[in-house]
Amino acid sequence: MTPEQRRHLIYAPLRIWLGLCILLGLTATYAYLPHVPIKPIISLLIAAAKGALIVLFFMQLRKAEAIVRLAALVGVIWASFLFLFSFADFLTR
Amino acid sequence: MSPNTQEGIVDRELRSPSYLQNGTTIRSWLLTTDHKRIGILYAMSITFFFFLGGIAATLIRLELISPTGLFLTNDEYNRAFTLHGIVMVWFFLVPSIPTTLGNFLLPMMIGAKDVAFPRLNLMSWYLFIAGGLLTVLALIAGGVDTGWTFYTPFSTLYSNSHVLLAAMGVFVVGFSSIATGVNFIATVHLLRAKGMTWMRLPLFGWAMYTTSLVMVLATPVLAMSLLLVVAERAFGLPIFDPRSGGDPLLFQHLFWFYSHPAVYIMVLPAFGVVSEIITCEARRRIFGYQFMVYAMVVIAVIGFMVWGHHMFVSGQSAFASLVFSFLSFVIAVPSAIKVFNWTGTLYRGQIRFSAPMLYALGFIGLFTIGGLTGLFLASIPIDVDLTDTYFVVAHFHYIMVGGSVSAFFGGLHFWWPKITGRMYSERLAQFAAISMFFGFNFTFFPQFIMGWMGMPRRYHLYAPEFQPWHVMSSMGAVVLAFGYAWPVFYLGWSLFKGQRAPDNPWDATGLEWQTRSPPPKENFDRTPVVTDGPYKYHPQDSTPHEVEQAQAPQVP
Amino acid sequence: MSSDIIIHEPFETAARQKVAVPFGVWSFLATECLFFGGIFLFYAYARWHGGEAFSAGAKETDIWFGSANTFILMTSSLTMAIAERATKEGLVRLARWMLWATIGFGLAFLVVKGFEYRKDISEHLIPGPHFKLEQGPAAQFWAFYWTVTVTHAIHLTIGLGVVGRLLWIDRRGDLAPHATTAEGTALYWHLVDIVWVILYPLLYLVGRP
């Protein structure tokens, strides 16, 4: 294994993993802190950040072709339709 | 489109065998990864389910001849219309055009050797069969009585029928749809022949692409809603149960998030088929190609945002109803663009009233009636009055049966020579097309009238004043059944005794016609290169009529 | 660097084929996104509608099991990412070890989940006649818990199957030319991880003191 390969194969993913672990510690700690605001939002934001790390780096969406990115994006956009229109009903009853 | 097949004629002796001769054992069919053979496998399977659903329809129409019912109990009647709905929607209409004509033609139309994932394609057929077996098992075990919509809490808490088996059947067949969808999307993106740009794609290709988009993005939500039904029914987990604070409307939202776009899964492929037939049989370029494309894309996207019009009387908020109603009107615009453009295509064309053309023209008429009555139902005040009446039944049959099934039969005839290598009897086919058109209107137009008068759907006992309309409808169904069964005979005859078909009997321009009938396994003897847009039936600036006049001998 | 990919039937060029697998798998992942989107909509509705009573149900989950499993699954994603990159670089030995590690972590997740289920069952946390809490939004939380964790576990088991398939390809001795297969497998495995990462706050962090 060349040093270049070692960097690309081992260290880069390891850094992402470390980031994930830190975020996990952060979110668990925040949930137990007394008297802090907007717990659900923070926990979901951290989950989204972890998801973004996995998608962009582990799944290499950052370097993927345009159509692959499009396919990834479409799922999220369409799921938002589901939430948007269902809650348009729930919230206005 | 002019593929460069002129470079040299491949010697007849050296040509590879057609896809039909390339292995003739049962095994070579069941393990095939050839998209054309998988199309045939699908065609045989959906034909079976079409007749199964047809038997249920026959029972329903017979039962409804008398206002007091003829021979079914309440429970049996519920099971009959549920079976009809489930089988026809998921085992015939949704897979009909995409998995048969789509599988067969899409790779050929874009100049590819196969779909992007041939083994996945075969797997999707096996999933279809597995889902079909589960549903047939539910039928044998005694059937389901929830209606095809599986509405909770009835389906999860009260129904004493085989909901679980049927739901699992539909769940599995959903994954077969997803597999087909993923496959087609990747095929269109990655396997277009050299020169086949997006704006040179035949409209059938665009139809398959947009349909696949809807399949891939809508079907998983159906899978989840059925999974939740199974969880509540089989394990008693309170999900939609109002006693635990659950909301049956949540189920309806999830269900219609799939099932409304599913209507577009059924009708977008029909748009594609009809565009191919009308251009060829009118010898005309399509009127407004780009708008035809945009219309399909817009329908595929907006189709996801109108589902609440199925829930106007369910207790959904007035605001949500308003939004869904508005968007339902919006989606009529691209549909109307398509109808006008087909009509515009006919203008100054040289129309051949062949059997496929009769089916296609029938499609336009029936789809227009279905679409316009859809606008009635999209407006809330009228829908409140007409919900769960025969008006709704007639409306969606005009779209799904009058529209999609006509187009399916039209496509089947149009490409029959390509698929089988045999010609069918034109006269008999025209007769079938006409009897289908009349039988259909005869069956379903009375349903508009009695629905308007207040005849509720899903009842087999009704007030006597509706009887004339029901009798008329049932008599029409006899003609319609003839229209569906008749092609089995002459097409079956053509399979064995029909005249050998030339490569391009209709003189059409699509790539699929530039190869042999039936095609070789690799589709083309020479990989085609595309240099022009589709439907080049006449020079850009003149109609075929003008061309003919210019070439006619001058009379002094 | 081994770039000699086998070209399968419908493809004319290796470049197109290389895009096909990630594109196909991502399209499938979009499907998964909507599949889980459906059950998340149930969660969102129940949490919004059930309010405090819903969070009260969530208090009964065991954060230790949940956090341990999050850690395990994130680590399996790491080994999977290394395995996939190593396959692409032709470092088959490293890839093999990392695939085995991924399977190991996946199994560990299921074992921890099994212990967690045992605890849940012994505490009567299954909605029904013997349910520990009141029927109502708390029961809805647990309906969500059971449905979604079982669905996730099934996904993970399928993931174990496809990773196992890579090892089987490796046994035949041609892992390196199957780099795109490895890529598709890795994408699926990471998705299973992401679903869990989102489930973690929804199941284990709601209603902590």
Mutate to test the interface with C, among B123, B227, B249, B251 (most CBs of C within 10 A): B227
pLDDT greater than 90 at residue B358:
yes
Residue B310: inside a domain: yes
B338 pLDDT exceeds 90? Answer: yes
Higher-confidence residue of A42 and B551: namely: A42
ipTM: 0.95
Residue B149's pLDDT is: 95
pLDDT of C40 reads 97
Res B493 pLDDT > 60: yes
Q: Is the dihedral of CA A9, A13, A15, A21 positive or negative?
A: negative
* CB-closest option in C29, C70, C78 to A75: C29
Min distance B320 CA to chain A CA atoms (Å): 5
Out of B178, B186, B223, name the one closest to residue C20 (CB).
Answer: B186
Residue at B21 is within a domain: no
The residues spanned by each domain of chain C are 36-204
Answer whether residue B435 shows pLDDT above 50. yes
pLDDT(B6) > 50: no
Q: Which residues of A touch C200 (CB under 8 A)?
A: 24, 27, 47
Contact B379, B325 (CB under 8 A): yes
Mean pLDDT of C87-102: 94
Per-residue pLDDT at B3: 45
Q: Residue B1: its pLDDT value, please?
A: 44
CA distance A88 to chain C (A): 12
Contact by Cβ (8 Å): B359, B409: yes
Q: Is the pLDDT of residue B227 over 60?
A: yes
Contacts of residue B45, Cβ cutoff 8 Å, sequence gap at least 6: B125, B128, B129, B132
CA-nearest residue of chain A to C75? A17
Candidates A10, A68, A75; nearest CB to C82 = A10
Nearest to B199 by CA among B211, B209, B213, B214: B209
- Residues B504-540 have pLDDT tens digits of 999 999 999 999 989 999 999 888 999 999 999 988 7
B553 — pLDDT class (breaks 50, 70, 90): low
Fold of C36-204: Four Helix Bundle (Hemerythrin (Met), subunit A) (1.20.120)
Q: Which one has a higher pLDDT value, B7 or B146?
A: B146
The shortest CB-CB distance from C16 to any of B190, B235, B527 is to B190
Q: What is the nearest CA distance from C80 to chain A, expressed in angstroms?
A: 9
pLDDT at residue number B13:
54
Which residues from chain A sit within 8 angstroms of residue B316, using beta carbons? 89, 93
Write out chain A residues lying below 8 Å of C185, CB-based. none
**Which residue range forms the structural domain that includes residue B475?**
36-547
Which chain B residue is nearest to residue A79, measuring alpha carbons?
B217
Burial class (CB in 10 A: 0-12, 13-18, 19+), B413: buried
Closest approach of C52 to chain B, Cα-based (Å): 13
Query: For chain C, what is the mean pLDDT?
Result: 92
Is residue B417 in a domain?
yes
Mean pLDDT of C193-208: 94
Residue-wise pLDDT for C32-50, tens only, equals 999 999 999 999 999 999 9
CATH number at residue B79: 1.20.210.10
The count of C-alpha atoms lying within 13 angstroms of the C-alpha of B41, restricted to the half-sphere facing its C-beta, is: 23
Q: What is the pLDDT of residue B9?
A: 53
Question: Over the stretch B158-197, which tens digit does the pLDDT of each residue have?
Answer: 999 999 999 999 999 999 999 999 999 999 999 999 999 9
**pLDDT of A63 over the 60 cut:** yes
Residue percentage of chain B with pLDDT more than 70: 95
Please give the DSSP secondary-structure letter assigned to residue B290: H
Residue C209 pLDDT > 90: no
Chain C residues within 8 A of B178 when measuring between CB atoms: 28, 31
- Chains contacting C with at least 3 CB pairs below 8 Å? A, B
Average pLDDT on B222-236 reads 96
Residue of B nearest to C131 (CA): B237
Span A33-48, average pLDDT: 91
List of residues 6+ apart from B290 with CB closer than 8 A: B199
Contacts of B247 in chain C (CB under 8 A): 45, 49
Q: CA of B316, closest CA in chain A: separation in Å?
A: 6
Contact residues on chain A for C141, CB-CB shorter than 8 A: none
Q: What percent of chain C has pLDDT over 90?
A: 80
* B404 found inside a domain: yes
Helix ranges restricted to H, chain C: 14-50, 52-58, 63-89, 92-122, 137-171, 179-204
Q: What are the C-alpha distances in Å from B189 to residues A37, B99, B102, B441, C9?
A: 47, 18, 15, 40, 16
pLDDT band at C2 (very low <50, low <70, confident <90, very high): very low
Mean pLDDT (chain B, rounded)? 93
Q: Where residue C139 falls among pLDDT bands split at 50, 70, 90?
A: very high
- Look at C33 and A76 and tell me if their CB atoms are within 8 Å: yes
The size of the B-C interface in CB pairs under 8 A is 126
- pLDDT of the residue at B64: 96
The C-alpha atoms of residue C200 and residue C19 are separated, in whole angstroms, by 32
- Closest chain A CA to residue C43: A83
Cβ within 8 Å, pair C208-A24? no
- When the pLDDT of each residue in chain A is averaged and rounded to a whole number, the result is 93
Of B8 and A62, the structure prediction assigns the larger pLDDT to A62
Chain B residues near residue A91 by CB distance under 8 angstroms: 317
| Subunit contact C35:B231, Cβ cutoff 8 A | no
Query: Of residues B131 and A3, which shows the higher confidence score?
Result: B131
Q: Residue B550's pLDDT band (boundaries 50, 70, 90)?
A: low
DSSP secondary structure code for residue B529 in this structure: B
- Coil, strand or helix: which one is B6? coil
Contact B398, B444 (CB under 8 A): yes
Total domains present in chain B? 1
pLDDT tens across B60-100, in order? Answer: 999 999 999 999 999 999 999 999 999 999 999 999 999 99
| Per-residue exposure over C58-69, b if at least 16 CB sit within 10 Å of its own CB, e if not | bebbbeebbbbb
The helix/strand/coil state of A53 is helix
pLDDT in the model for residue B7: 45
The percentage of chain B sitting over the pLDDT mark of 90, rounded to a whole number, equals 91
Contact C44 A43 (CB under 8 A): no
Residue type, C8: H
Q: What does the pLDDT read at residue C159?
A: 97
Q: Which of A81, A88, A93 is nearest residue B323 as measured by Cβ atoms?
A: A88
Minimal CA–CA distance to B261: which of B326, B310, B295? B310
* Binary contact (C143, B254; C-beta < 8 A): no
Q: What is the 3-state secondary structure (H, E, C) of B436-497?
A: HHHHHHHHHHHHHHHHHHCCECCCCCCCHHHHHHHHHHHHHHHHHHHHHHHHHHHHHHHHHH
